[in-house]
Copies of this chain bind each other. A is one copy, B any other.
Amino acid sequence: MANHEIPEIVVGRLPQYLRSLQRMAREGRQITSSQELGERLSISAAQIRKDLSQFGEFGKQGTGYHIAYLIEQLQKILKVDHDWDLVVVGAGELGNAVARYKGFTNRGFKVCMIFDIDPEKIGSQINGFVIQDFACVVEKIRTAGIKLAVITVPTNQAQEVTNKLVEAGIEAILSYAPISINVPEGVRVQYIDPAIHLQRMTFFMD
């Protein structure tokens, strides 16, 4: 099935499967089942089998999934069998934390440039990278051919920064700002939204 025909809600679950499988691999495990994955993720085993079946045959009835093989296949499906270069815009507290984040390792991403507009920050270093002038962002991103950006700028700058990134050829943006940003067709946006995660837990609380 062509990628654009897979429902986004199915695609949204694949990274969760991959993360769980990578954890199992680190625990030294070799085989798992849709039941076990389902329990770890609070998703039904039937849903997991159905999701994976859209991409091929990854396990046999009764014998389960080979973890290493399924990881490899999911990495190919999600196109993270190689590292994507990542630009961070905003060298404040959040930008610093993202630039130093250890959770990108082995998951397909590598921060390679950091930009800010603050003359006091430009030229200083985070995690080995020199903070670059946002005024040069279009040229630098185009030259390097980078497609992915993380924005950690203040809310009132998020849309303007997004427009520049789109102009530079960025195709996917992960935003930490608590507002909805507009992008043209063909550019994707995801949001880091801690309130969403907290609300998923308060539902179950008294």
Number of interface residues of A (CB under 8 A): 65
> How far is the CB of A11 from the nearest CB of chain B, in Å?
5
> How far is the CB of A179 from the nearest CB of chain B, in Å?
8
Question: Does the CB pair A199–B15 fall under 8 Å?
Answer: yes
Q: Mark A165-177, 1 if CB is under 8 A from B, else 0.
A: 0000001101010
Partner of A198 from B7, B12, B190, B198 at Cβ < 8 Å: B190
Q: Residue A60 at the B interface, CB < 8 A? A: no
Q: Residue A97 at the B interface, CB < 8 A? A: yes
Question: Does the CB pair A107–B171 fall under 8 Å?
Answer: no
Partner of A195 from B94, B108, B191 at Cβ < 8 Å: B108
Q: Mark A85-124, 1 if CB is under 8 A from B, else 0.
A: 0100000111011100111100111000000000000000
In the assembled complex, the Cα of A104 lies from the Cα of B202 at a distance in Å of: 14
Q: Residue A68 at the B interface, CB < 8 A? A: no
Interface residues of A (CB under 8 A from B): 3-4, 6-9, 11-12, 14-16, 18-19, 23, 42-44, 47, 77-80, 84, 86, 92-94, 96-98, 101-104, 107-109, 147-148, 150, 152, 155, 171-172, 174, 176, 178, 180, 188, 190-205
